[in-house]
A and B are shown apart, each in its own frame.
Chain A
Amino acid sequence: MTSSGTSLNGRLDDVSGDAGYAGHPQRVGFFTDTSVCIGCKACEVACKEWNGLPEPDAFTLTGMSYDNTGGLGASAWRHVAFIEQDVISEIADGAATRWLMSSDVCKHCTHAACLDVCPTGALVRTEFGSVVVQADVCNGCAYCVSACPFGVIDRREDDGRVWKCTMCYDRLRGGLEPACAKACPTDSIQFGPLDALRETAHTRLAELHAAGQGEARLYGDDPDDGIGGAGAFFLLLDAPEVYGLPPEPVVTTKDLPSMWRWAGASAALLAAGVAVAFAGRRQ
């Protein structure tokens, strides 16, 4: 691993240092333990209230169980998903129901594609290891919107700029925890130093496995994964795609060198093609 310069993928233990911060606090993030989420949506409300997010234009039922938010977006930075499943249960005479609930959020990736592709430098890494958009810089090119492997960041059409979870950067600088973590009554959303959260998560996973919940898994916790591990990782009770999450996301920037090589070769081909076309006498 490189100790200087920006690495494009792979394990990166000091993401803020790599971004240029000389001294900085411990990296903090979210561990969302969906096994104790009760779907109350206090996180959605707290986030919207604290950040003053705009109200929707229309109020319509989606028909997607109790999820009327639909997904993360420019004005929804916490989104509670509801998945109803028919399951086979040893206990309940065969047919039973399972209702998965999960509060989704920006992953604040170690290797954040949105940050990598942002041409204006609007998206930056903070001293806490989180990723934020500087709204006074963003010109709404929406490149990040297509680059995010989780479909988190989006552009507000009436505003022109992109918006996403800031991990309550203002609250962090005030020594407070993000609004969603504060509001969550069951501590499904836990906030704190990322290392400690990863330990907690592994302990919790072991508990669930011991209790027979074999499908439980961690998502985004592994610093060797395709995005270098997430600053907001999860404990899920089923496959990621069930929750609308990509199964094994990889930061798109990983393949950038190869992409430039092919582009370079093609550029040379263009020059050669013109040269060949003009070779020989004029006619």
Chain B
Amino acid sequence: MKNIIESSNYFSVYHDTVLNNEKYNFYGLLDIKQNRFYILHRNHSLLKFLQLVLLKNFYTFSIVSFKHFNFNANKNIDNYDCINWGGTAELTSSLELEANTSLYEANLIKAESTLLTNHDLEVQEKMFFVMNILTKLDNLFKKVREHETDIKKPMHEGYNELKKYLEIICPNDKNIINFINEENKQLQAKLLELDTYWNRILLFFYNIDFRNNSIESMFNSFKEHTQMPEFELERFRRLYQRPYDALEQLYAILGISREY
């Protein structure tokens, strides 16, 4: 592979659903030492997580927000060519985890022409692999989370109103507030469990040996991880089978055919 665009994990930072005024609202992970962007992505949270994974493996990347960045030098920068671009000294002179793009002098510039090694390309592809799979999973979890939040919203609101009135009717009562809090907590139980699953996924990627594993072995290990009893996949299936069959969709992301 000579360029990341050849990888099956490649994606463009511009996708069809992005609104025009949001076109440049994305971020890049800039290798401080090489002064090259390795990946552009729109999800700051996921990028922050990837940054942590990389830090753990002693790769130092800074996050650059393109929304506030002068990248006139290449207004069409995308993932296939970002590795050829870096920032002016203002961006790379300090080890800021979030680059300060407010400085007027912070601009996009062409990277020095030193050749990329195979190792560099491997690291970049691994980053694409992690972000690709996490983005798909994040979209799935977001969809389930939004549905769950939406259907519970009227109940939460009802409880809040009830609390207000019962405090008037039964002053000094301690049970009612506790009960309503408890019931509100129970309403959120499925959401909290979903967070637990998401955290398990993140922890897997954090713990994996990013340096010494190939993409294939990382992917296989992840699939195996989801099948471990501790992952509680059956519970996941039962909890989130409606309205979306979340397990079915998880399997589709992982390329696993489900046994019936």
Bound pair (A, B): no
